[in-house]
Amino acid sequence: MNSYVLKPDHFRSYELILHGDKHLENAEPFDKRIAFVSYDDSIEVSIFIYLILHHPDFLGDTIKASKESFYDRLDYLFEFITNNSLSPHSIEMI
């Protein structure tokens, strides 16, 4: 059996996914909406943690601006990808 040990920076995103899964099991409309919000939050948290851990320049003035919206964080991420000639598929999994 394969086992995977989560890194400390994975816990919060994983907890949000588990929370969403629990709501999805109920299959009521309200629970489906809560599950969607939990999955969405997990993605946002994962991107924010990735930027903080792997891109020190993100911690400067950019982090203040990035707190404004998730779209600002995505813009920063895609700007980083473009400036470093990377593709979205080459980003290390966090």
pLDDT tens by residue, 15-60 = 888 999 999 898 789 999 999 999 988 888 888 787 777 776 666 6
Give how far Cα 48 sits from Cα of 3, 12, 36, 92, Å. 26, 12, 18, 14
Residue 40: domain span: 8-88
**Residue 53 within a domain:** yes
- In this predicted structure, the answer to whether residue 94 has a pLDDT above a threshold of 50 is no
Predicted local confidence at residue 46, as pLDDT: 83
Cα separation, 50 vs 13, whole angstroms: 11
**Residue 48 within a domain:** yes
Mean pLDDT of 64-82: 73
Cα separation, 7 vs 41, whole angstroms: 19
Number of domains making up the chain: 1
Nearest to residue 76, comparing CAs of 91, 37, 94, 36?
A: 91
Say whether pTM exceeds 0.95. no
**Residue 3 within a domain:** no
